[in-house]
Amino acid sequence: MPILPIDGGRYGTKEMREIFDDQKKIHYQLEIEASAAESQSEIGVIPRAAAQNIAKMARSGKITTKRVKQLEAKSDHDTAALVEALSELCTPNAKPWIHYGLTSNDLVDTSTSMQIKDALAIIEPKVARLAIILAKLAMKFKDFPAVGRTHGQHASIIAFGLKFANWALEMSKHIERIEQCKKRILICKTLGVVGTGSLMGSKALEVQKRVAKKLSLYPADVTTQIVPREGYAEYVFCIALIGSTLEKIAVEIRNLQRTEIGEVAEPFKKGQMGSSAVPVKRNPVKSERVTSLSKMLRSQINVSFENIPLWHERDLSNSANERFTLPTSSILLDEMLEAMTKILSDLYVNKDKIKKNLSITKGQIFAEFVLDALIKKGVPRFKAYRDIQRVAFAASDSEMEFLQAVKNDKAISAHLTEKEIERVFVPENQLGASSTIIKNVFNKVNRTCSKFT
Protein backbone atom coordinates (compact mmCIF):
# COMPACT_ATOMS: atom_id res chain seq x y z
CA MET A 1 0.00 0.00 0.00
CA PRO A 2 1.46 3.43 -0.93
CA ILE A 3 2.33 5.65 2.01
CA LEU A 4 3.48 8.80 0.23
CA PRO A 5 1.10 10.70 -2.11
CA ILE A 6 3.71 10.64 -4.89
CA ASP A 7 3.79 6.83 -4.66
CA GLY A 8 0.01 6.57 -4.77
CA GLY A 9 -0.17 8.62 -7.94
CA ARG A 10 -1.81 11.67 -6.36
CA TYR A 11 0.97 13.99 -7.50
CA GLY A 12 3.03 14.05 -10.67
CA THR A 13 2.37 12.51 -14.06
CA LYS A 14 2.81 8.83 -14.82
CA GLU A 15 5.73 9.68 -17.13
CA MET A 16 7.62 11.52 -14.40
CA ARG A 17 6.98 8.91 -11.71
CA GLU A 18 8.14 6.10 -14.00
CA ILE A 19 11.59 7.71 -14.27
CA PHE A 20 12.14 7.00 -10.59
CA ASP A 21 10.59 3.52 -10.59
CA ASP A 22 12.82 0.70 -9.27
CA GLN A 23 12.71 -1.23 -12.53
CA LYS A 24 13.55 1.90 -14.51
CA LYS A 25 16.54 2.54 -12.24
CA ILE A 26 17.76 -0.99 -12.95
CA HIS A 27 17.29 -0.32 -16.67
CA TYR A 28 19.46 2.79 -16.45
CA GLN A 29 22.20 0.99 -14.54
CA LEU A 30 22.23 -1.99 -16.89
CA GLU A 31 22.57 0.41 -19.81
CA ILE A 32 25.62 1.88 -18.09
CA GLU A 33 27.09 -1.62 -17.69
CA ALA A 34 26.44 -2.31 -21.39
CA SER A 35 27.89 1.02 -22.52
CA ALA A 36 30.94 0.64 -20.28
CA ALA A 37 31.67 -2.88 -21.56
CA GLU A 38 31.27 -1.76 -25.19
CA SER A 39 33.49 1.27 -24.65
CA GLN A 40 36.17 -0.79 -22.92
CA SER A 41 36.22 -3.33 -25.73
CA GLU A 42 36.48 -0.62 -28.39
CA ILE A 43 39.91 0.38 -27.08
CA GLY A 44 41.15 -3.03 -25.97
CA VAL A 45 40.50 -2.93 -22.23
CA ILE A 46 38.33 -6.08 -22.24
CA PRO A 47 37.73 -8.77 -24.91
CA ARG A 48 35.18 -7.81 -27.58
CA ALA A 49 33.26 -11.09 -27.29
CA ALA A 50 32.88 -10.58 -23.53
CA ALA A 51 31.62 -7.03 -24.06
CA GLN A 52 29.09 -8.18 -26.65
CA ASN A 53 27.70 -10.80 -24.29
CA ILE A 54 27.58 -8.39 -21.34
CA ALA A 55 25.80 -5.75 -23.40
CA LYS A 56 23.35 -8.27 -24.84
CA MET A 57 22.38 -9.64 -21.42
CA ALA A 58 22.25 -6.18 -19.84
CA ARG A 59 19.74 -5.09 -22.49
CA SER A 60 17.80 -8.36 -22.57
CA GLY A 61 15.07 -7.20 -20.18
CA LYS A 62 15.47 -10.43 -18.20
CA ILE A 63 16.85 -8.81 -15.03
CA THR A 64 13.93 -7.87 -12.80
CA THR A 65 13.50 -5.86 -9.65
CA LYS A 66 12.30 -9.03 -7.95
CA ARG A 67 15.53 -10.92 -8.69
CA VAL A 68 17.76 -8.00 -7.71
CA LYS A 69 15.94 -7.67 -4.39
CA GLN A 70 16.31 -11.40 -3.74
CA LEU A 71 20.06 -11.11 -4.19
CA GLU A 72 20.19 -7.87 -2.19
CA ALA A 73 18.51 -9.60 0.75
CA LYS A 74 21.60 -11.81 0.95
CA SER A 75 24.38 -9.33 0.11
CA ASP A 76 22.77 -6.25 1.69
CA HIS A 77 24.16 -4.26 -1.28
CA ASP A 78 21.84 -3.15 -4.07
CA THR A 79 24.51 -2.50 -6.72
CA ALA A 80 26.32 -5.76 -6.00
CA ALA A 81 22.97 -7.52 -6.34
CA LEU A 82 22.41 -5.98 -9.77
CA VAL A 83 25.89 -6.98 -10.95
CA GLU A 84 25.33 -10.52 -9.64
CA ALA A 85 21.99 -10.72 -11.46
CA LEU A 86 23.75 -9.73 -14.68
CA SER A 87 26.49 -12.25 -14.06
CA GLU A 88 23.92 -15.03 -13.76
CA LEU A 89 22.99 -14.51 -17.41
CA CYS A 90 26.42 -14.02 -18.94
CA THR A 91 28.72 -16.67 -20.45
CA PRO A 92 31.67 -17.99 -18.41
CA ASN A 93 34.12 -16.08 -20.62
CA ALA A 94 32.25 -12.82 -20.04
CA LYS A 95 31.73 -13.11 -16.28
CA PRO A 96 35.25 -11.91 -15.28
CA TRP A 97 34.77 -8.65 -17.22
CA ILE A 98 31.38 -7.61 -15.85
CA HIS A 99 31.60 -4.27 -14.00
CA TYR A 100 35.32 -4.16 -14.80
CA GLY A 101 37.08 -1.15 -13.28
CA LEU A 102 33.80 0.25 -11.99
CA THR A 103 32.46 0.90 -8.52
CA SER A 104 28.93 1.11 -7.19
CA ASN A 105 28.64 4.85 -7.52
CA ASP A 106 29.67 4.75 -11.15
CA LEU A 107 26.29 3.13 -11.64
CA VAL A 108 24.42 5.06 -8.95
CA ASP A 109 25.59 8.55 -9.89
CA THR A 110 25.55 8.06 -13.64
CA SER A 111 22.06 6.54 -13.51
CA THR A 112 20.98 9.51 -11.41
CA SER A 113 22.23 11.77 -14.18
CA MET A 114 20.17 9.74 -16.64
CA GLN A 115 17.11 10.18 -14.43
CA ILE A 116 17.67 13.92 -14.19
CA LYS A 117 18.18 14.16 -17.95
CA ASP A 118 14.88 12.40 -18.59
CA ALA A 119 13.13 14.46 -15.89
CA LEU A 120 14.34 17.69 -17.51
CA ALA A 121 13.10 16.42 -20.87
CA ILE A 122 9.62 16.45 -19.29
CA ILE A 123 10.05 19.65 -17.29
CA GLU A 124 11.52 21.95 -19.95
CA PRO A 125 8.64 21.71 -22.46
CA LYS A 126 6.15 22.30 -19.65
CA VAL A 127 8.02 25.37 -18.43
CA ALA A 128 8.23 26.65 -22.02
CA ARG A 129 4.54 26.02 -22.67
CA LEU A 130 3.61 27.88 -19.50
CA ALA A 131 5.85 30.80 -20.46
CA ILE A 132 4.13 31.06 -23.84
CA ILE A 133 0.65 30.89 -22.27
CA LEU A 134 1.65 33.73 -19.94
CA ALA A 135 3.14 35.76 -22.79
CA LYS A 136 -0.09 35.45 -24.78
CA LEU A 137 -2.12 36.58 -21.76
CA ALA A 138 0.24 39.52 -21.39
CA MET A 139 -0.42 40.55 -25.00
CA LYS A 140 -4.16 40.09 -24.58
CA PHE A 141 -4.25 42.58 -21.71
CA LYS A 142 -1.34 44.84 -22.71
CA ASP A 143 -3.55 47.92 -23.04
CA PHE A 144 -6.04 47.15 -20.29
CA PRO A 145 -5.66 49.45 -17.23
CA ALA A 146 -5.75 47.88 -13.78
CA VAL A 147 -4.85 48.64 -10.19
CA GLY A 148 -1.18 48.28 -9.32
CA ARG A 149 -0.78 47.42 -5.64
CA THR A 150 2.14 47.79 -3.24
CA HIS A 151 1.97 46.84 0.43
CA GLY A 152 -1.55 45.60 -0.34
CA GLN A 153 -2.60 49.20 -1.11
CA HIS A 154 -3.61 50.83 -4.39
CA ALA A 155 -0.44 52.50 -5.65
CA SER A 156 -0.75 53.40 -9.32
CA ILE A 157 -2.07 52.14 -12.64
CA ILE A 158 -0.60 49.24 -14.59
CA ALA A 159 -1.54 47.38 -17.71
CA PHE A 160 -3.13 44.16 -16.45
CA GLY A 161 -0.97 42.30 -18.96
CA LEU A 162 2.15 43.44 -17.13
CA LYS A 163 1.46 40.89 -14.40
CA PHE A 164 1.59 38.08 -16.94
CA ALA A 165 4.63 39.55 -18.70
CA ASN A 166 6.63 39.47 -15.46
CA TRP A 167 5.80 35.82 -14.93
CA ALA A 168 6.32 34.89 -18.58
CA LEU A 169 9.83 36.28 -18.73
CA GLU A 170 10.83 34.60 -15.47
CA MET A 171 9.59 31.24 -16.73
CA SER A 172 11.63 31.67 -19.91
CA LYS A 173 14.67 32.51 -17.78
CA HIS A 174 14.18 29.17 -16.04
CA ILE A 175 14.66 27.52 -19.44
CA GLU A 176 17.95 29.38 -19.75
CA ARG A 177 18.97 28.30 -16.24
CA ILE A 178 18.22 24.66 -17.01
CA GLU A 179 20.19 24.77 -20.26
CA GLN A 180 23.16 26.39 -18.53
CA CYS A 181 23.29 23.93 -15.64
CA LYS A 182 23.04 20.73 -17.68
CA LYS A 183 26.79 20.51 -18.28
CA ARG A 184 27.33 20.70 -14.52
CA ILE A 185 24.71 18.20 -13.38
CA LEU A 186 24.36 15.58 -16.15
CA ILE A 187 27.65 13.90 -15.32
CA CYS A 188 28.88 10.47 -16.37
CA LYS A 189 31.42 8.90 -14.00
CA THR A 190 33.21 5.59 -14.64
CA LEU A 191 36.46 6.25 -12.76
CA GLY A 192 36.21 3.49 -10.17
CA VAL A 193 36.74 3.23 -6.45
CA VAL A 194 38.29 6.62 -5.60
CA GLY A 195 38.10 8.43 -8.90
CA THR A 196 41.49 7.47 -10.35
CA GLY A 197 40.32 5.02 -13.02
CA SER A 198 42.90 2.71 -11.45
CA LEU A 199 42.19 -0.60 -13.19
CA MET A 200 41.80 0.96 -16.63
CA GLY A 201 44.89 3.14 -16.19
CA SER A 202 45.69 5.51 -19.04
CA LYS A 203 42.59 4.38 -20.95
CA ALA A 204 40.17 5.30 -18.15
CA LEU A 205 39.34 8.78 -19.41
CA GLU A 206 38.76 7.59 -22.96
CA VAL A 207 36.41 4.88 -21.68
CA GLN A 208 34.49 7.47 -19.67
CA LYS A 209 34.32 9.83 -22.65
CA ARG A 210 32.85 7.09 -24.82
CA VAL A 211 30.33 5.99 -22.19
CA ALA A 212 29.23 9.60 -21.69
CA LYS A 213 28.67 10.02 -25.40
CA LYS A 214 26.61 6.83 -25.63
CA LEU A 215 24.45 8.00 -22.73
CA SER A 216 24.20 11.65 -23.89
CA LEU A 217 25.89 12.87 -20.71
CA TYR A 218 28.99 14.92 -19.91
CA PRO A 219 32.17 13.09 -18.81
CA ALA A 220 33.39 13.98 -15.32
CA ASP A 221 36.55 16.07 -15.17
CA VAL A 222 37.43 14.96 -11.64
CA THR A 223 35.64 13.01 -8.91
CA THR A 224 36.23 11.10 -5.74
CA GLN A 225 34.32 7.83 -5.52
CA ILE A 226 31.26 9.94 -6.24
CA VAL A 227 30.47 12.96 -8.37
CA PRO A 228 30.54 16.19 -6.33
CA ARG A 229 27.16 16.79 -4.71
CA GLU A 230 27.22 20.45 -5.69
CA GLY A 231 25.63 19.34 -8.96
CA TYR A 232 22.70 17.67 -7.24
CA ALA A 233 22.28 20.69 -4.99
CA GLU A 234 22.19 22.93 -8.05
CA TYR A 235 19.56 20.73 -9.68
CA VAL A 236 17.31 20.77 -6.62
CA PHE A 237 17.85 24.50 -6.20
CA CYS A 238 16.95 25.12 -9.85
CA ILE A 239 13.83 22.96 -9.50
CA ALA A 240 12.81 24.74 -6.30
CA LEU A 241 13.41 28.12 -7.92
CA ILE A 242 10.95 27.26 -10.68
CA GLY A 243 8.54 26.11 -7.98
CA SER A 244 8.88 29.43 -6.18
CA THR A 245 7.99 31.32 -9.35
CA LEU A 246 4.93 29.11 -9.71
CA GLU A 247 4.05 29.88 -6.11
CA LYS A 248 4.45 33.60 -6.79
CA ILE A 249 1.88 33.28 -9.58
CA ALA A 250 -0.39 31.16 -7.38
CA VAL A 251 -0.32 33.66 -4.52
CA GLU A 252 -1.29 36.50 -6.85
CA ILE A 253 -4.15 34.49 -8.33
CA ARG A 254 -5.36 33.61 -4.84
CA ASN A 255 -5.28 37.26 -3.83
CA LEU A 256 -6.99 38.48 -6.99
CA GLN A 257 -9.68 35.83 -6.51
CA ARG A 258 -10.56 37.09 -3.03
CA THR A 259 -14.20 38.17 -2.82
CA GLU A 260 -13.16 41.76 -2.09
CA ILE A 261 -11.05 41.97 -5.26
CA GLY A 262 -12.59 39.43 -7.65
CA GLU A 263 -10.46 40.22 -10.69
CA VAL A 264 -9.64 36.64 -11.67
CA ALA A 265 -10.81 33.13 -10.84
CA GLU A 266 -9.53 29.63 -11.37
CA PRO A 267 -11.53 27.54 -13.85
CA PHE A 268 -14.41 25.77 -12.14
CA LYS A 269 -15.70 22.70 -13.96
CA LYS A 270 -19.23 21.35 -13.98
CA GLY A 271 -19.91 19.24 -10.92
CA GLN A 272 -16.95 20.65 -8.98
CA MET A 273 -17.54 21.45 -5.30
CA GLY A 274 -15.79 24.37 -3.66
CA SER A 275 -16.88 23.50 -0.14
CA SER A 276 -18.57 20.55 1.51
CA ALA A 277 -20.65 22.96 3.59
CA VAL A 278 -21.06 26.17 1.55
CA PRO A 279 -22.55 25.52 -1.91
CA VAL A 280 -21.66 28.92 -3.41
CA LYS A 281 -17.92 28.83 -2.82
CA ARG A 282 -15.37 28.62 -5.64
CA ASN A 283 -12.08 28.18 -3.84
CA PRO A 284 -8.69 28.63 -5.58
CA VAL A 285 -7.69 25.09 -4.61
CA LYS A 286 -5.21 24.47 -7.42
CA SER A 287 -3.30 27.65 -6.62
CA GLU A 288 -3.34 26.70 -2.95
CA ARG A 289 -1.97 23.27 -3.89
CA VAL A 290 0.88 24.93 -5.78
CA THR A 291 1.65 27.08 -2.74
CA SER A 292 1.58 24.06 -0.44
CA LEU A 293 3.81 21.90 -2.62
CA SER A 294 6.28 24.75 -3.14
CA LYS A 295 6.96 24.75 0.59
CA MET A 296 7.75 21.04 0.48
CA LEU A 297 9.86 21.50 -2.63
CA ARG A 298 12.00 24.23 -1.06
CA SER A 299 12.62 22.04 1.97
CA GLN A 300 14.62 19.68 -0.26
CA ILE A 301 17.25 22.39 -0.82
CA ASN A 302 18.58 22.25 2.72
CA VAL A 303 19.07 18.48 2.65
CA SER A 304 20.80 18.70 -0.74
CA PHE A 305 23.25 21.31 0.53
CA GLU A 306 23.94 19.22 3.64
CA ASN A 307 25.09 16.41 1.33
CA ILE A 308 27.95 18.42 -0.16
CA PRO A 309 30.49 17.93 2.68
CA LEU A 310 31.31 14.21 3.00
CA TRP A 311 34.22 12.33 4.58
CA HIS A 312 37.38 11.92 2.48
CA GLU A 313 36.61 10.27 -0.87
CA ARG A 314 33.05 9.55 0.25
CA ASP A 315 30.75 8.20 2.93
CA LEU A 316 27.12 7.11 2.89
CA SER A 317 25.55 9.99 4.84
CA ASN A 318 24.07 11.36 1.61
CA SER A 319 22.87 8.11 0.08
CA ALA A 320 19.60 7.39 1.86
CA ASN A 321 18.17 10.90 1.70
CA GLU A 322 18.97 11.28 -2.02
CA ARG A 323 16.45 8.51 -2.63
CA PHE A 324 13.92 11.11 -1.42
CA THR A 325 15.23 14.52 -2.50
CA LEU A 326 15.81 13.94 -6.21
CA PRO A 327 12.61 12.03 -7.05
CA THR A 328 10.51 14.17 -4.71
CA SER A 329 11.76 17.45 -6.18
CA SER A 330 11.18 16.32 -9.74
CA ILE A 331 7.73 14.86 -9.15
CA LEU A 332 6.50 17.82 -7.10
CA LEU A 333 7.57 20.32 -9.73
CA ASP A 334 5.91 18.22 -12.41
CA GLU A 335 2.66 18.35 -10.44
CA MET A 336 2.93 22.10 -9.90
CA LEU A 337 3.56 22.75 -13.60
CA GLU A 338 0.55 20.65 -14.54
CA ALA A 339 -1.67 22.49 -12.05
CA MET A 340 -0.54 25.98 -13.04
CA THR A 341 -0.90 25.23 -16.75
CA LYS A 342 -4.50 24.14 -16.18
CA ILE A 343 -5.21 27.27 -14.16
CA LEU A 344 -3.79 29.71 -16.66
CA SER A 345 -5.11 27.98 -19.77
CA ASP A 346 -8.68 28.71 -18.64
CA LEU A 347 -8.18 31.56 -16.19
CA TYR A 348 -11.30 33.72 -15.84
CA VAL A 349 -10.49 37.42 -16.00
CA ASN A 350 -13.29 39.73 -14.84
CA LYS A 351 -12.75 42.91 -16.87
CA ASP A 352 -15.70 44.69 -15.31
CA LYS A 353 -14.36 44.12 -11.79
CA ILE A 354 -10.89 45.28 -12.82
CA LYS A 355 -12.40 48.52 -14.13
CA LYS A 356 -14.56 48.90 -11.02
CA ASN A 357 -11.58 48.42 -8.72
CA LEU A 358 -9.83 51.37 -10.37
CA SER A 359 -12.52 53.57 -8.83
CA ILE A 360 -12.39 52.24 -5.27
CA THR A 361 -10.22 55.14 -4.09
CA LYS A 362 -12.48 57.63 -5.88
CA GLY A 363 -9.68 58.63 -8.21
CA GLN A 364 -6.81 58.86 -5.73
CA ILE A 365 -4.95 56.19 -7.71
CA PHE A 366 -4.14 59.04 -10.13
CA ALA A 367 -2.20 60.98 -7.46
CA GLU A 368 1.19 60.09 -8.99
CA PHE A 369 0.15 61.61 -12.29
CA VAL A 370 -1.26 64.79 -10.71
CA LEU A 371 2.10 65.19 -9.00
CA ASP A 372 3.90 64.73 -12.30
CA ALA A 373 1.67 67.30 -14.03
CA LEU A 374 2.45 69.89 -11.34
CA ILE A 375 6.19 69.21 -11.47
CA LYS A 376 6.15 69.72 -15.22
CA LYS A 377 4.52 73.11 -14.57
CA GLY A 378 7.49 74.08 -12.43
CA VAL A 379 6.00 73.44 -8.99
CA PRO A 380 8.67 72.17 -6.52
CA ARG A 381 8.19 68.46 -5.88
CA PHE A 382 7.62 68.59 -2.14
CA LYS A 383 5.23 71.55 -2.33
CA ALA A 384 3.22 69.69 -4.97
CA TYR A 385 3.43 66.47 -2.93
CA ARG A 386 2.10 68.11 0.25
CA ASP A 387 -0.70 69.91 -1.59
CA ILE A 388 -1.85 66.67 -3.22
CA GLN A 389 -1.63 64.80 0.07
CA ARG A 390 -3.65 67.49 1.82
CA VAL A 391 -6.33 67.44 -0.85
CA ALA A 392 -6.45 63.65 -0.97
CA PHE A 393 -6.79 63.16 2.78
CA ALA A 394 -9.54 65.79 2.98
CA ALA A 395 -11.35 64.18 0.04
CA SER A 396 -11.21 60.81 1.80
CA ASP A 397 -12.70 62.27 4.96
CA SER A 398 -15.57 63.86 3.01
CA GLU A 399 -15.91 60.93 0.55
CA MET A 400 -15.43 63.32 -2.36
CA GLU A 401 -14.18 62.26 -5.78
CA PHE A 402 -10.48 63.13 -6.00
CA LEU A 403 -10.91 64.63 -9.49
CA GLN A 404 -13.40 67.16 -8.18
CA ALA A 405 -11.31 67.87 -5.10
CA VAL A 406 -8.29 68.62 -7.30
CA LYS A 407 -10.34 70.93 -9.50
CA ASN A 408 -11.66 72.74 -6.43
CA ASP A 409 -8.24 73.31 -4.84
CA LYS A 410 -6.77 76.69 -5.73
CA ALA A 411 -3.15 75.65 -5.05
CA ILE A 412 -3.42 72.95 -7.73
CA SER A 413 -5.85 74.56 -10.19
CA ALA A 414 -3.66 77.66 -10.29
CA HIS A 415 -1.17 75.61 -12.32
CA LEU A 416 -3.43 73.18 -14.22
CA THR A 417 -6.41 73.87 -16.41
CA GLU A 418 -9.59 71.86 -16.06
CA LYS A 419 -8.84 70.00 -19.31
CA GLU A 420 -5.29 69.22 -18.19
CA ILE A 421 -6.64 67.83 -14.92
CA GLU A 422 -9.26 65.71 -16.66
CA ARG A 423 -6.66 64.32 -19.06
CA VAL A 424 -4.67 63.06 -16.06
CA PHE A 425 -7.67 61.05 -14.85
CA VAL A 426 -7.97 58.85 -17.95
CA PRO A 427 -6.56 55.37 -17.09
CA GLU A 428 -5.51 54.57 -20.68
CA ASN A 429 -3.29 57.68 -20.66
CA GLN A 430 -1.25 56.38 -17.73
CA LEU A 431 0.11 53.04 -18.90
CA GLY A 432 3.58 54.40 -19.60
CA ALA A 433 5.77 52.01 -21.58
CA SER A 434 3.67 48.98 -20.64
CA SER A 435 2.74 48.10 -24.20
CA THR A 436 6.34 48.19 -25.43
CA ILE A 437 7.59 46.26 -22.40
CA ILE A 438 5.00 43.54 -22.94
CA LYS A 439 5.75 43.26 -26.66
CA ASN A 440 9.47 42.95 -25.90
CA VAL A 441 8.78 40.20 -23.36
CA PHE A 442 6.50 38.37 -25.79
CA ASN A 443 9.26 38.32 -28.41
CA LYS A 444 11.94 37.21 -25.93
CA VAL A 445 9.79 34.42 -24.55
CA ASN A 446 9.01 33.10 -28.01
CA ARG A 447 12.68 33.14 -29.01
CA THR A 448 13.64 31.17 -25.92
CA CYS A 449 10.73 28.77 -25.65
CA SER A 450 9.34 28.03 -29.11
CA LYS A 451 11.85 25.23 -29.77
CA PHE A 452 10.58 23.31 -26.73
CA THR A 453 6.89 23.38 -27.61
Cα–Cα distance, 6 to 17 (Å, whole number): 8
Tell me what the pLDDT averaged over the chain comes to: 95
Catalytic pick among 60, 198, 216, 275:
275
Cα–Cα distance, 311 to 360 (Å, whole number): 62
pLDDT digits (tens, 9 = 90+) for 362-414: 999 999 999 999 999 999 999 999 999 999 999 999 999 999 999 999 999 99
Cα–Cα distance, 387 to 241 (Å, whole number): 45
Please tell me the predicted confidence (pLDDT) of residue 261: 97
Are both 164 and 219 inside the same structural domain?
yes
User: 275 catalytic, yes or no?
Assistant: yes
Give φ, ψ of 2 to 5 degrees. Answer: -65, 140
44: pLDDT confidence band, cut at 50, 70 and 90?
very high
Of 97, 112, 138, the residue at which a domain comes to its end is 97
Are both 339 and 377 inside the same structural domain?
no
Structural domain contains residue 3: no
Of 97, 123, 151, the residue at which a domain comes to its end is 97
Residues 337/127, Cβ–Cβ less than 8 Å: yes
pLDDT digits (tens, 9 = 90+) for 182-235: 999 999 999 999 999 999 999 999 999 999 999 999 999 999 999 999 999 999
Structural domain contains residue 439: no
Q: CATH number, domain at 44? A: 1.10.275.10
Are both 210 and 257 inside the same structural domain?
yes
The count of structural domains within the chain is 3
Q: CATH number, domain at 236? A: 1.20.200.10
Are both 222 and 273 inside the same structural domain?
yes
Are both 242 and 218 inside the same structural domain?
yes
User: 99 catalytic, yes or no?
Assistant: no
Are both 382 and 240 inside the same structural domain?
no
pLDDT digits (tens, 9 = 90+) for 258-267: 999 999 999 9
Are both 172 and 283 inside the same structural domain?
yes
> Is residue 270 over pLDDT 90?
no
Are both 218 and 330 inside the same structural domain?
yes
Positive or negative, the CA dihedral 261, 248, 337, 329 is negative
Are both 294 and 157 inside the same structural domain?
yes
Are both 262 and 162 inside the same structural domain?
yes
Are both 208 and 175 inside the same structural domain?
yes
Structural domain contains residue 87: yes
Q: What is the domain range of residue 279?
A: 104-357
Please tell me the predicted confidence (pLDDT) of residue 277: 66
Are both 199 and 272 inside the same structural domain?
yes
Give φ, ψ of 148 to 5 degrees. Answer: -100, 130
Cα–Cα distance, 274 to 283 (Å, whole number): 5
